[in-house]
Amino acid sequence: MFDALSEKLQRVFSRLQSHGTVTEKDLDEALREVRVALLEADVNFRVVREFIAAVRERAVGAEVLRSLTGPQQVVAIVNEELTRVLGGSQAALATAPQPPTVILLLGLKGAGKTTFAAKLALHLRKQGGKPLLVAADPYRVAASEQLQALGRQHNVATFAGDLSDLRRLAKDALAEARRIGATAVIVDSAGYLQLDEDVAEELRTLAESFAPHETLLVVDAMTGQEAVHVAEEFGKATQPTGFVLTKLDGDARGGAALSIRAITGLPVKFVGTGERADALEPFHPERFASRILGMGDVMTLVEKAQASIGEDDVVAIGKRMKANQLDLNDFVSQLQRVRSMGPVSDLLGMIPGMGGIKRQLQATQIDDTFFKRAEAIVFSMTAQERRNPDMINGSRRRRIAAGSGTTPQDVNQLLKQWKEAKKVMQMMASGRTARMLGIR
């Protein structure tokens, strides 16, 4: 979602850095372009005005003008101010003094509450919790069945009670949570087309009945400025404690993410970044600011890697790297782990300075198809060929290509990629890098 904004801002600062020093004219021209980029990204005009004023005041006050490190200081100030606009620091979920913690989800119809409920349940379970999903939508056809199906799919407990009486539903759901020892209750409420007095009364009844520790407003990030309006309207009927921005992987301009905290004063707690069950990230303002400015997000990348690659796997692969025993079985297993971390272009966007390569990958359409083709080629080899790729001659290439539905040229390309990857891993297995990775 932030790709267009990120590219524009990076171009602005690239030109600024080419000047060597920053004059007042340079600063004003750069900030004028930043203002236009933010407005085009559908950021609220009040937020843009205050942001630009804050950056200019700090840049002039810090004697950035004509400093030899002026351009870098301007970028640093923009990064800090962008982080401040996004919320400053991560706002974690509240936790009840005694379990379960009750999390009430609110939002308009189609915002993605039910999908988010399942994602949040998986997120909490990965942290060692035991969530219970509660169906509390009496209007949408098969809403309860959908939530129960998601619960079965991901092995998460669900509760579906009497939807005609929300107070009774809350009482029974909380009793069930205590019975099974649930640490969190996630309440999937109705999605509304509009907010009127009847809806406001129903929201108040939900809040009184469940007494939630968190009331999260789920907002479709692709609605732009309308998302801020929705947040303000819900705020009149109930008291949200934070926001969830869904569909952040879409092609909208992203203004909601940059506006909603500044306008409402409430934090964004999670963002949905795709359709996958694990495509959910806690919102870290400083990390998102760095991504937008093309400065990467190494911490999130490390967390994704740690979630996909266990400590035992790291030790095992480290030993094989050290002993020069890596083969194509290791290669394809690492490809599968990379796939489990999300789209390659997104991962590259988290590495500082890799924005250009990210765009090249998008242009060449390196996606799941690329990985599936690589896997098909390796799986079409014999066990001996995977252990010793050097034995693959012309006739073997033709056989492997026929078995994988590819061409001999594709097989050649994969073998070249494997050799390059093996060189890199051998370099990593020696010296300082090895010590950093814990390879002994």
pLDDT tens sequence across 110-162: 888 999 999 999 999 989 999 999 999 988 888 899 999 999 999 999 999 88
In angstroms, rounded to a whole number, what is the distance separating the alpha carbons of residues 118 and 100? 17
83 neighbors 289 (Cβ within 8 angstroms): yes
Strand 268-272 with 280-282, pairing = antiparallel
Domains in the chain, CATH or no CATH each: 3-86 (1.20.120.140), 101-283 (3.40.50.300), 300-437 (1.10.260.30)
Average pLDDT of the chain is 80
* pTM, to two decimals: 0.68
Share of the chain above pLDDT 90, in %: 33
H/E element, 354: none
Sheet architecture: strand order including 280-282: 157-159, 131-136, 184-189, 101-107, 214-220, 242-246, 268-272, 280-282
Helix axes 70-86, 45-61, angle to 10 degrees: 140
The type of residue at 276 is: R
| CA max distance for the chain | 75
Instruction: Say if residue 138 is preceded by a cis peptide, omega within 30 of 0.
Output: no
- For residues 325 and 388, what is the distance between their CA atoms, to the nearest angstrom? 10
- Please report the pLDDT score of residue 230 as a whole number: 82
State phi, psi for 218 to the nearest 5 degrees: -90, 120
pLDDT tens, position by position, 322-375: 666 678 887 777 776 666 666 655 555 555 544 544 444 444 445 557 778 888
Q: How big is the CA angle at 67 (ends 350 and 258), to the nearest 5 degrees? A: 35
The answer, yes or no, to whether residue 19 has pLDDT greater than 60, is yes
| Amino acid at residue number 325 | Q
Report the pLDDT averaged over residues 314-321: 61
Provide the pLDDT for residue 346. Answer: 59
The residue that leads in pLDDT, 416 or 316, is 416
